[in-house]
Amino acid sequence: MRTLGARLALWYSLVSTVTLFGLLAAGYFLLNRHLVRGVDLQNAAEFHRLVAGGSLPRPGAESPGFLVEVRDAGGAVLYRSAALGVTVLPELGNTVTIGTLGRHRVGVFQKDGATVKVAVPLEPVRQVMLGYAEISLVLVCLVLLISLISGMALSRAALRPVRTIQETANRIRLDNLSERIPVGDSQDEIASLAELLNEMFDRLETAFEEVRRFSAEASHELKTPLSLLRLQAEKLLSDGRLGAEQEEAVQEQLAEINRMQHIIEDLLFLSRAEAQAIRPRLLRRNPREFLDELTEDAALLAEQAGVQFRAHIEPEGEVAFDAQWMRQALLNLLTNAFRYSGRGSLVTLDSEFTLDAWRLTVEDEGPGVPEVERERIFERFVRLDDAAERGSGSGLGLAICRSVMAMHGGAIHAGAGERKGGLRVVCEVPLGGAPRVADRPSEREQAVD
């Protein structure tokens, strides 16, 4: 049982069933004891009836179903019922089996120095106890079934606030830190837990806002000194006064400055996208012309990387999207696929329309990504060990793709390739409805990793 509700229902059912079983077992013992005591009273009543005249029982005077044995003080048999046969009744009150007559309860009494033994069958008691056992078994089975059903219902009702907390906490992500768990009026432990979690989310939201603000402000402040460094390095190269080694060092500095500027632009874009400060220009159109232009550029990149590239574009359908941002996102995905695929391998781009979305799929034949890492690769600066060795990417490309899809109200996710392993990234843009965006437009940032 993996869920708490199922375990609670099981324990509730077991406790209820075991409790009922214990009560029925105790009732079985007490009822049997009570019935045997009743049989002893029957023996006593039969004895008193037999000696009511003041003399010892006469032969054949016993009632039907009763057996009688009379012995004198010396132990000699004065009279015994014919049905006893060779069976000797015990000296003390007890239970004895008499031939084919079955078990009998024996009562021993004294009269004028003689011993009178009276026996009566225990079959009625056995039948009653057998019926009791059958009824008890049925009751135990019914209680087990009913307690399981009622336990599941009770556990679901009791854990409904916990499921609400789980669902709400699962929805709270980087792009939705303002949502909070609803707190009921019960003021019980669950309500206290919800309040505690809400306080934690408040602190997390504040911390993330501070980090996001720092990232945006630091990126903005770094652009000016980097631009000055770049101008100074370009001026040194244009003067022509540097030696070969010095010129090579300056060229390396320029390459690193360009890389830093690219990272800063990506960070600025992500900060603005997460703050919903970018307003995409969503135009409803058939994406065929857009994809034709994109695949031409992708084919050149694939040829440069030494891989094969194929595109399958479904012609029918219209969707609202921003061509420039969508281009940047798809080029990010294709560039990553080309970079991590072996030479001669195949990278594909599929475009199709479902009932409610425009689906774009990029699949490669590279080493792939472990299942536990497929969600994490869309976070900032996440680079797997193999990926860190293959290229100089900043680890922001897939995070930018996710932000672009979010601006379109869509989603992106990764899975295993269907041909030869590799990675399969699927982007979906809804056909209807505009995503939530800020009311103010913002400048566009180049965002290819």
Give the CA dihedral 29, 31, 33, 35, nearest 10 degrees.
Answer: -150
Mean pLDDT for 231-237 is 80
Q: Is the pLDDT of residue 424 over 60?
A: yes
Structure confidence at residue 74 as a pLDDT band (50, 70, 90): confident
Q: What is the mean pLDDT of residues 206-226?
A: 69
- DSSP assignments along 111-173, one per residue: ETTEEEEEEEE-HHHHHHHHHHHHHHHHHHHHHHHHHHHHHHHHHHHHTHHHHHHHHHHHH--
- In this predicted structure, what is the pLDDT of residue 217? 65
Per-residue pLDDT at 274 exceeds 80: no
Give the pLDDT of residue 1.
52
Average pLDDT, the chain: 82
Is pLDDT of 354 > 80? Answer: yes
| Residue 44: pLDDT band with limits 50, 70, 90 | very high
pLDDT score of 145? 93
Q: Per-residue pLDDT for 245 more than 70?
A: yes
Cα(397)–Cα(338) distance, integer angstroms: 14
pLDDT in the model for residue 441: 37
pLDDT higher than threshold 80 for residue 398: yes
pLDDT at 433 over 60: no
pLDDT surpasses 50 at 123: yes
Give the confidence band of 390 by pLDDT, cuts at 50, 70, 90: very low
- CA–CA separation, 290 and 284 (whole Å): 12
The confidence band for 216, taking pLDDT boundaries of 50, 70 and 90, is: low
Are 199 and 207 contacting, i.e. CB atoms less than 8 angstroms apart? no
Check pLDDT > 70 for residue 275.
no
Q: What is the pLDDT of residue 215?
A: 64
Average pLDDT over residues 177-198: 80
Q: What percent of the chain stands above pLDDT 90?
A: 26
For residue 388, name the pLDDT band (cuts at 50, 70, 90): very low
442: left (phi over 0), alpha (psi -120 to 50) or beta: beta
DSSP 282: -
| Stretch 31-60: mean pLDDT | 88
User: Is 442's pLDDT higher than 70?
Assistant: no
259 has pLDDT over 50: yes
Q: How would residue 90 be classed by pLDDT, with cut points 50, 70 and 90?
A: confident
pLDDT interval class at 223 (50, 70, 90): low
On the question of pLDDT at 158 being above 90, the answer is no
pLDDT, position 438: 36
Which range is most confident: 136-140, 249-253, 355-359? 136-140
Find tokens 């307003």 and name the residue.
279
- Confidence band, pLDDT 50/70/90 cuts, at residue 143: very high
> In this structure, which amino acid lies at residue 233?
A
Report the pLDDT averaged over residues 37-45: 92
pLDDT at 27 over 90: yes
Domains of the chain, each with CATH number or no CATH: 4-155 (no CATH), 189-274 (1.10.287.130), 283-430 (3.30.565.10)
pLDDT in the model for residue 314: 79
Residue 146 clears pLDDT 70, i.e. is over it: yes
Three-class SS of residue 298? helix
